[in-house]
Amino acid sequence: MNQNLDQHAVILPPAMLGMLGGGQLGRFFVIAAHEMGYQVTVLDPDANSPAGKIADVHICAAFDDKAALLSLANTCAAISTEFENVPADSLSFLAEIKPVRPSAYSVAIAQHRVSEKNFLKHAGLPVAPFAVINEIEDLPNDDSDIYPAILKVARFGYDGKGQSRVKNQHEAQLAFMQFEREECVLEKMLKLDYELSVVLARDAHGNVAAFPTAENSHLNGILDVSIVPARGSDAISHQAQKLAVLVAEKLAYTGVMGVEFFVCKGELLVNEIAPRPHNSGHYTIDACVTNQFEQQVRVMTGLPLGNSYQHSSAVMVNLLGDIWPADEKVAPEWQHALNNSQLKMHLYGKQEARQGRKMGHFTVINASRDEAIKQAMQVRADLNIGR
């Protein structure tokens, strides 16, 4: 970070903001920034990226293209990222010229499972038992109580990709070889009571606004449904918020982050950190005074954080490419969903529907959480999700 840059300067509309990454998170960022009167330049190598298509300027280039990064830094007042695998070096390069939030340091920790786990452990935060695997000899033998376990590649994993469930050392060896002996984390497979996440924003002064805790269920390693506020123990939901704030503080984090938790035998464990808005925080668009993307704009521009109060219970359901008919020109049968006056539909404008690809989501809001769950599950079933 360039110490000469004024990290507390306030950037007002219609300044140009820079976004690394053009996926759906970037698209929602562009929408939030536009609503507030800012302009946005998106850098993404995909000519058809969801955010690039609606940005004021799309720089179509690789995330490590120096000329493209220079142009981003020279034309934007501040820069953020929506893509956690953006090279940390690119963020450091940009930070010499303009404010970058979150910092290269915190993104570097969150994007590498080994540094992430070590950071959490040293910060005194509870995590699942794990071993770092650099070589095949590092895999514990069958006497170890780590099995059954999940082998996870340290880098570039997301949505359950780069993960393999293994019952013993032999299976772990095969999986490790399949991952081409890339550095991995071997994590004990836990019997989860349920999963939670907390999205929060932390500004450059250290002020924090945490959103209510979401209860998440996954399908094939991909987020399926978020219910907010989470059911289950309020004390645990509250504790999850406290731990998420602690993670942000220990990381000296500036920006929006998502922290995923496991609840196992009634105890919270931190699963992972996302250094960006989080899929489980999409409910904030329709159910909170300020949504997670507006918070991202606010942190970047040095504005005070918005109120994160949740005014309606919310249930978010992801729409994956799996429910698109094989004929790409046909869309799923949306009518029933769109007939519901409490349902907010969000489609990301992606042309190609692939298995497991996040194409959109919907959120049902209601004063009653039970009613929101009932309606969302009905629409989810009608769309054949999970069948």
Interface residue list for ligand ADP (CB under 6 A): 128, 150, 152, 157-160, 187-190, 192, 195, 218, 221, 260, 271-272
372 touches 214 (CB < 8 A): no
Residues in binding contact with Mg ion, number by CB under 5 A: 1
Residue nearest to Mg ion (CB): 260
Tell me which of Mg ion, ligand ADP, none is bound by residue 208, counting a contact when its beta carbon lies within the kind-specific cut-off of 5 to 8 angstroms.
none
CA–CA separation, 196 and 122 (whole Å): 22
Side chain identity, residue 224? D
Going through the chain in order, the beta strands assigned E by DSSP cover: 16-20, 39-43, 57-59, 78-81, 130-133, 149-153, 163-166, 184-188, 194-202, 208-210, 214-219, 222-228, 255-264, 267-274, 313-320, 343-347, 358-366
CA–CA separation, 39 and 16 (whole Å): 5
CA–CA separation, 94 and 59 (whole Å): 15
Closest alpha carbon to 172 in 159, 161, 188: 188
- Which residue number, 299 or 315, has a Cβ lying nearer to ligand ADP? 315
> How far, in Å, are 30, 40, 90, 103 from residue 81 at the CA level?
12, 12, 11, 10
Helix (H) / strand (E) containing 120 = helix 113-122
CB of 143 to Mg ion, least distance (A): 29
- Which residue number, 72 or 247, has a Cβ lying nearer to Mg ion? 247
* Residues 255-284: x where in contact with Mg ion by CB under 5 A, - otherwise, as a string: -----x------------------------
> Got the DSSP string for 148-163?
SEEEEESBS--TTTTE
CB of 288 to ligand ADP, least distance (A): 23
- Which residue number, 53 or 218, has a Cβ lying nearer to Mg ion? 218
Side by side, the strands of the sheet bearing 57-59 are 57-59, 39-43, 16-20, 78-81
CB of 195 to Mg ion, least distance (A): 9
Tell me which of Mg ion, ligand ADP, none is bound by residue 128, counting a contact when its beta carbon lies within the kind-specific cut-off of 5 to 8 angstroms.
ligand ADP
- Which residue number, 58 or 282, has a Cβ lying nearer to ligand ADP? 282
Tell me which of ligand ADP, Mg ion, none is bound by residue 255, counting a contact when its beta carbon lies within the kind-specific cut-off of 5 to 8 angstroms.
none
Tell me which of Mg ion, ligand ADP, none is bound by residue 192, counting a contact when its beta carbon lies within the kind-specific cut-off of 5 to 8 angstroms.
ligand ADP
CB of 222 to ligand ADP, least distance (A): 8
CB of 261 to ligand ADP, least distance (A): 10
130 touches 124 (CB < 8 A): no
CB of 269 to ligand ADP, least distance (A): 9
Tell me which of ligand ADP, Mg ion, none is bound by residue 105, counting a contact when its beta carbon lies within the kind-specific cut-off of 5 to 8 angstroms.
none
Side chain identity, residue 350? K
Alpha helices in 251-318 (DSSP H): 284-287, 292-301
CB of 364 to ligand ADP, least distance (A): 22
- Which residue number, 218 or 369, has a Cβ lying nearer to ligand ADP? 218
Residue nearest to ligand ADP (CB): 190
- Which residue number, 95 or 146, has a Cβ lying nearer to ligand ADP? 146
CA–CA separation, 90 and 66 (whole Å): 8
Binding residues for Mg ion (CB under 5 A): 260
